[in-house]
């Protein structure tokens, strides 16, 4: 009887190890794709607005205008 109990314990340990290994290698893909896209787009849109669309407080220029003026200055295009 004791050998059977040892075999059962060994089988249970092996099964638990297999379950743990399986759990470590699988991915949890139960997410709502629509929500993920919505969240990703919202964060992208906010970074674009902050980085490109709003004028800077220091000089009131957007980055694209600042680059254009800098290039004009480097080329010697002055009034």
Task: Give tens-digit pLDDT for 7-19.
Answer: 666 777 777 777 7
Q: What is the pTM of this model?
A: 0.46
3-state helix, strand and coil shares in percent for the chain, rounded to the nearest 5? 75, 0, 25
Q: What is the pLDDT, as a whole number, of residue 5?
A: 60
CA angle 58, 61, 63 (to 5 degrees): 105
Alpha helices, DSSP H, located in 1-79: 2-25, 33-48, 63-75
Task: Give tens-digit pLDDT for 41-72.
Answer: 999 999 998 888 889 889 999 999 999 999 99
For residue 62, give the nearest of 72, 47, 52, 71 by alpha carbon: 52
Give dist(CA 65, CA 5) in Å, integer: 79
Task: Give tens-digit pLDDT for 25-46.
Answer: 556 666 788 889 999 999 999 9
Backbone angles phi, psi at 17, to 5 degrees: -65, -40
């Amino acid at each position: 009887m004791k050998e059977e109990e040892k075999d059962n314990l060994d089988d249970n340990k092996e099964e638990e190890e297999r379950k743990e290994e399986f759990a470590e290698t699988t991915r949890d893909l139960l997410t709502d794709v629509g929500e993920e896209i919505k969240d990703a787009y919202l964060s992208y849109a906010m970074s674009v607005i902050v980085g490109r669309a709003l004028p800077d407080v220091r000089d009131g220029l957007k980055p694209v205008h600042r680059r254009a003026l800098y290039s004009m200055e480097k080329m010697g295009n002055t009034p």
